[in-house]
Amino acid sequence: MDSLPMQRGPYEELNISELNRVKEWDANKEAQALFQAQFREFIESKPLYSNFKLTLPPGRTQFFLEVARLYCQVCKTFQPFRRPDVSQWYHFNDKNLRVSDKQIMRAFDLLKNCVYPVELFCQECHRGFYDFFIAVSVTHGS
């Protein structure tokens, strides 16, 4: 019985090494800037259904795009697009994410191999939008 590998459930607390990875990412502004630049390049320039390798953040809430310059169908020009205040789409584990730093981090707070929604709204007219569903492979860094 002792030789069986232990499977961790999504509600168990993160071990110290995973928790430290998330905290180190939060403190590393250079890594965050690199991720934002790579993610922005992917959204702005790659065609649909393409693969792209980039440095992924360890935490689920750290996987977002701050701004992208995309063509707005309403404004008929390229405009900056940002995340909305309230998302229409969400990942199924988002309901379990912690709402404050006082809560412990659990396995579903980590970025996993899954499909994640990315919503962007035009900052000029606030009507143009893009919805992306990004298939993330943490094991391959894409």
What's the rounded mean pLDDT across residues 6-30?
77
Beta bridge partners of 129: 121
**Of 48 and 56, more confident:** 56
* Residue-wise pLDDT tens digits, 3-15: 445 555 656 677 7
Give the separation between CA 42 and CA 81, rounded to whole angstroms: 14
What's the rounded mean pLDDT across residues 74-95?
79
End-to-end, the C-alpha distance of the chain in Å comes to 37
pLDDT of residue 1: 45
Q: Is 43 helix (H, G, I), strand (E, B) or coil?
A: helix
pLDDT of residue 93: 59
Give the separation between CA 128 and CA 121, rounded to whole angstroms: 6
Q: Which helix (H) or strand (E) holds 51?
A: none
Q: Which helix (H) or strand (E) holds 102?
A: none
**Of 58 and 105, more confident:** 58
* Residue-wise pLDDT tens digits, 30-39: 999 999 999 9
| 67-72 sheet: strands from edge to edge | 67-72, 77-82, 114-122, 129-136
